[in-house]
Structure 1
């Protein structure tokens, strides 16, 4: 196994990263409605993040994608808050520190883009992910911010940047 490479998404990655994300969501039994599974953006991730103050990073290992995560303005929210979006990794990528590295890169980008806070939504049973979020300074909040359309994601967290 070679060393994983974290890099910005390219247009050629669209289909592969959509498959990675859907594979992880199905593995975790995430509802297909009201979660990232139903997002139109999944099939055009490069185009979705090809805008100001947004980036999606992928993790490539041995010529294939094993995960990714992104930062963008929180949808339907007026404040200077970004959202950590679509952070998913195949089973082979987990427990290797890749998520921590990706999280640091995303949060650095968010600061560089000038955001004041970073928000995220997740599922209650995604405990390993929540531990990672807490380790880097995210705290639980009582309800959703903005309107991401992810009404099936009941866990909300926020971090000052």
Structure 2
């Protein structure tokens, strides 16, 4: 499978919003209330919020595509855009979201490769991410990518406070 990686442009915010809601819902919908999910979507995936993140010079979005088909996307943050203060030598992988029908086809690995390239281009020595403690598939994937748990933090989904594991990889 040939996977093309393309930087997300502001004009593509609607496609970004759609895939964000689709992939988040597919991954977490069965384990969370529709009220909490809707509240999160309205906060995290509204046009204004996504547009401000796309134009932020310390955040990077990339679509994974095959031909014109959207497979998934990546969001990484450096410097002040990181959701935790992890130091100036780190890059945060905030989101690797892959559409359900394309999971286990190398899309996540290709997006992680892109994240590592962005880290190297920005002279970062470490990459970190937060993963929901109950997302076993994602935790296993990150472990195979060389990440180890170093801590935890709270992730608020609507009114529900959840525990994310913080995982780190030296590069």
Answer 1 or 2: higher relative contact order, Cα 8 Å, separation at least 6: 1
TM-score under structure 1 length normalisation: 0.79
8 Å CA contact 1:6, 1:58 repeated in 2: yes
How far, CA to CA, are the matches of 2:42 and 2:149 in structure 1?
A: 25
Q: Deviations over 1:34-85 (max 9, x none)?
A: x974543553545413333431111123423221012112235261222101
CA apart distance, 1:19: 1.3
How far, CA to CA, are the matches of 2:110 and 2:124 in structure 1?
A: 20
More helix by share: 2
Tell me which residue corresponds to 1:24. 23
Residues 134 and 39 from structure 1, CA distance in 2 versus in 1: closer, same or farther, beyond 3 angstroms? Answer: farther
Structure 2 gap segments, 5+ residues each: none
| Of 20-29 and 37-46, the range deviating more from structure 2 | 37-46
Residues 102 and 51 from structure 1, CA distance in 2 versus in 1: closer, same or farther, beyond 3 angstroms? Answer: same
Residues 42 and 58 from structure 1, CA distance in 2 versus in 1: closer, same or farther, beyond 3 angstroms? Answer: farther
RMSD between superposed Cα atoms in Å: 2.8
- Number of aligned residues: 157
More strand by share: 2
Matched, 1:158 2:168: yes
Structure 1 gap segments, 5+ residues each: none
Residues 111 and 148 from structure 1, CA distance in 2 versus in 1: closer, same or farther, beyond 3 angstroms? Answer: farther
Match of 1:59 among 41, 44, 64: 64
Task: Write out aligned runs for 1:113-124 (5 A).
Answer: 113-124=122-133
Tell me which residue corresponds to 2:85. 77
Larger C-alpha radius of gyration, 1 or 2?
2
